[in-house]
Amino acid sequence: MSTTTSGTPEAASTAEVELAIGGMTCASCAARIEKKLNRMDGVEATVNYATEKAKVSYRGEEVSVQDLIATVEATGYTAEEPAPARDASASPADGDGDGDDEERRADDALRPLRERLVTAVLLSVPVIAMAMVPALQFEYWQWLSLTLAAPVVTYAAWPFHKAAFTNARHGAATMDTLISVGTSAAFLWSLWALFFGTAGTPGMTHPFELTIARSDGAGNIYLEAAAGVTAFILAGRYFEARSKRKAGAALKALLQLGAKDVTVLRDGGREETVPVGELRTGDRFLVRPGEKIATDGKVVEGASAVDASMLTGESVPVEVGEGDAVTGATLNVGGRLVVEATRVGADTQLARMAKLVEDAQNGKAAAQRLADRISAVFVPVVIGLALATLGFWLGNGAGLTAAFTAAVAVLIIACPCALGLATPTALMVGTGRGAQLGILIKGPEVLESTRRVDTIVLDKTGTVTTGRMTLLATHTAAGVEASEVLRLAGALEHASEHPVARAVAAGAAEQAGPLPAPEDFANVAGLGVQGVVEGHAVLVGRTALLAEWAIRLPGELERAKAEAEAAGRTAVAVAWDGEARAVLEVADAVKDTSAEAIRRLRALGLTPILLTGDNKAVAASVAAEVGISPEHVIAEVMPQDKVDVVKRLQAEGRSVAMVGDGVNDAAALAQADLGLAMGTGTDAAIEAGDLTLVRGDLRAAADAIRLSRRTLGTIRTNLFWAFAYNVGALPLAAAGLLNPMIAGAAMAFSSVFVVGNSLRLRGFKPLA
């Protein structure tokens, strides 16, 4: 998808495009393409070997997409122009089978590789067996080995030879060059030995030796090495390709969550089924039980339960009714809903989630950039080392066979693929698993931040608390039933739009059932409401309202009011028929999960700090409820001062994470070393954050940090293995301590190990 940014005149003509790259076989291929693209004027490119994509920023007046594609093709690879933009609110499988087509294309791409692998294995096994087991060697066994090995080295290994030739035409060398040169040299040497040496002598044995002591002239053949290496490397490529598909499976699943069709309500309520891509903002559509919600919207009719687990990772369905927001791709598991579309296309939460995940997967960590730089010069260095090895052993009188064996082993043991796969595969799996759990990681640089942070600042409203007023308690006078208080007070407050009144009405309806209709309702500005409910003259509001009717709170209610206000809560007095009957406590309620979340954050080595603009009494009450120490409470902070709080903590030497959800949190999230935005919050906060928590559960912050640290640890393990493998294996090969066939198996295993280690992240689970 191509986008153009605007703002300054220079930025106005800058565009971004993502190209699908074909023909890459190792990290050095990606490094070459990236280098060629970045040499173009006005172009900045990043090429990812694991995702097989190039993310390119370019100046439109100087470079076109076709120019970019031509540059990639001139380098010896293929590039595809992005497909026309589709309505991102729809699944990629929208009605046209694209999801299935993509799966079929992936299978078609693997089929030739699978066929060559099967051929190589079936023909190589007897060749290797005859070379290794003297009992299987019969008269003319070498010629049978040649007959079986020839199709392996030609047909099965053809992709390596073709890529090596293509790269050679462009003056480059890649992993395929090493494989092609190594297997071809072993095969051609064997041909020469069979036809012109002593290897073709009937009855001659071929001892299988692993050391440099092999120096008997031209008698030895290496058909088992040529065939075995081809089979091992094809196996590695095949399993690597399958594993890479699994690594990206979570993103593909995310992209395919959307509904295909939607029932739109036209004039007069007429139902019309249309593809979801035709849905527009403001359209009203019907969602029956068991159907997916087509796009983000607001419920205008009906009530139901919605299963959002595919987006948030939260397994418990959420009750929704008129006025509630719903998210596209979630599942209606209850009643009939009529929804008004508020966001379509690329603006939907599903599309934005997919974009965040894809951007993260295309990014590169600093360590990976180092690996890329090494990969860019890796193959020429290995070829030079192989020639040096050949010359060294020849110069030391080890014999042509021994020198040749060591040189071929050097060519085959080297593996830049593992370096290229170390970071992107872990990122693909980690970010994909995060998306399944409602955790969006913006990029690889975020992972390093999660390791360093030692302090986490929590914005109170909407993060630790629900962000909305809630009826918390009902204190009644002697002989008064709480249900009666709630029914009468709730009925009166239901007619008011004040946030406190709405909290009382909602709490009363939940606890006391259907509310009666009030009569003679009146709003007394600044004091409360009054009216008649079921024949009772009811007052609800401040004590000053009751005082106007000469009504005073009895002692027990006065104490309840004082305790509520001391805790920072709003006390609402209720009276009817000339007597005070109750005091209601209303406040922004602490989320049920916040205390557990604080414990989990502490277990990760983080110091939680509560930040709020509320007064100290309210802040202290909330902190005590969730387990935050009084000295770690910062209250009465103006929105614009939140950034200064983060800066002050950083000046003290702390590495600060910040969790918030509002517009006034955006600057602090950007200033923090790690910003965690609640997905239930504003777009500004989400844009400023490094990690987005799709569900409004603070426990997800602990899970996000755990997953990020686990992903970072996997990347480091991969890179350590990739570097250690090459640093350790190349000297062994040069010393003549590795047979070429064993070297080929080790090389194939190194790439599969890196991908397999990354796939372990699929098993990451949130704490119960």
- When computed from its CA atoms, the radius of gyration of the chain, rounded to whole angstroms, is 34
CB 223 within 8 A of CB 120: no
Structure tokens belonging to residue 504: 């009382």
Say which DSSP state 10 is in. Answer: H
At residue 522, the 3 state secondary structure works out as strand
Number of residues that make up the chain = 768
CA distances to 5, 31, 90 from 81, in Å: 19, 20, 21
What does the alpha-carbon distance between residue 633 and residue 623 come to, in Å, rounded to a whole number?
7
Is the C-alpha dihedral spanning 83, 86, 91, 93 positive or negative? negative
Structure tokens belonging to residue 697: 């559960």
CA distances to 105, 307, 343 from 510, in Å: 53, 21, 31
Structure tokens belonging to residue 525: 């500005």
* Residue of 585, 602, 613 lying closest to 461 (CA atoms): 613
Q: How many CA atoms lie within 13 A of 661 on its CB side?
A: 19
What does the alpha-carbon distance between residue 228 and residue 157 come to, in Å, rounded to a whole number?
11
Residue with tokens 């609800």: 540
What does the alpha-carbon distance between residue 696 and residue 335 come to, in Å, rounded to a whole number?
24
What does the alpha-carbon distance between residue 238 and residue 507 come to, in Å, rounded to a whole number?
60
What does the alpha-carbon distance between residue 435 and residue 692 come to, in Å, rounded to a whole number?
10
Q: Catalytic residue at 588? A: no
Say what angle helices 175-196 and 400-413 make with each other, to 10 degrees: 150
Exposure of 135 by Cβ count < 10 A (0-12 exposed, 13-18 middle, 19+ buried)? exposed
What does the alpha-carbon distance between residue 478 and residue 580 come to, in Å, rounded to a whole number?
11
What does the alpha-carbon distance between residue 394 and residue 406 come to, in Å, rounded to a whole number?
11
List phi, psi (to 5°) of 8. Answer: -85, 160
Residue with tokens 């119960």: 768
Cβ-proximal residues to 479 (8 Å cutoff; 6+ apart), any chain:
none
What does the alpha-carbon distance between residue 82 and residue 104 come to, in Å, rounded to a whole number?
19
What does the alpha-carbon distance between residue 111 and residue 564 come to, in Å, rounded to a whole number?
70
Structure tokens belonging to residue 122: 């079936």
CB 306 within 8 A of CB 333: yes
At residue 611, the 3 state secondary structure works out as strand
List phi, psi (to 5°) of 653. Answer: 95, 10
CA distances to 37, 50, 435, 743 from 362, in Å: 16, 9, 15, 31
Given the residues 87, 176, 283, 459, select the one marked as catalytic.
459
What does the alpha-carbon distance between residue 134 and residue 18 come to, in Å, rounded to a whole number?
56
Q: What is the residue type of 594?
A: S
List phi, psi (to 5°) of 160. Answer: -70, -45
Say which DSSP state 516 is in. Answer: P
What does the alpha-carbon distance between residue 677 and residue 663 come to, in Å, rounded to a whole number?
11
What residues act catalytically? 459
